[in-house]
Amino acid sequence: SQTIHQWPATLVQPVGSPLSLECTVEGTSNPNLYWYRQAAGRGLQLLFYSVGIGQISSEVPQNLSASRPQDRQFILSSKKLLLSDSGFYLCAWNPGQGYGYTFGSGTRLTVV
């Protein structure tokens, strides 16, 4: 069966520090991978998605970047965090069109 792992679960970082959040999927190959951010427990905003190794599409210009160094690994990064980067970050995957998403358990990021 397929599983998705996301870590860490919570993170408190100072303004200006770097960020690296990791997401991995097991039990499947060539998944579509996504990073979403959720502010204040409401709407989900798509940040990045990837349909293959090294292929990253950005939905919203911002202080963040994403990379996919391996087929089942998706990384969200920042060189210098801003206060506005605080939020709940969710990784998700799907095998293709029409299958919906499976989400990870999320990372609660607080920038102080």
Partner 1 sequence: GQQLNQSPQSMFIQEGEDVSMNCTSSSIFNTWLWYKQDPGEGPVLLIALYKAGELTSNGRLTAQFGITRKDSFLNISASIPSDVGIYFCARETSGSRLTFGEGTQLTVNP
Return the residue matching tokens 């998706």.
Answer: 74
Residue 77 φ then ψ, to 5°: -135, 160
**Residue 14 CB, nearest distance to partner 1 (Å)?**
23
| Stretch in the footprint of partner 1 (CB under 8 A) among 13-21, 65-73, 74-82, 99-107 | 99-107
Decide whether 65 or 103 has the Cβ nearer to partner 1: 103
| Residues 91, 111: Cα–Cα separation, whole Å | 19
| Residues 42, 88: Cα–Cα separation, whole Å | 10
In sign, the C-alpha dihedral spanning 26, 30, 31, 33 is positive
Residue 10 φ then ψ, to 5°: -135, 150
Q: Please identify which residue in 19, 21, 32, 72 interacts with partner 1, judged by CB under 8 A.
A: 32
Decide whether 15 or 60 has the Cβ nearer to partner 1: 60
Decide whether 35 or 79 has the Cβ nearer to partner 1: 35
Footprint of partner 1 (CB under 8 A): 6, 32, 34, 41-44, 46, 49, 51, 57, 59, 90, 92, 94, 96-106, 108
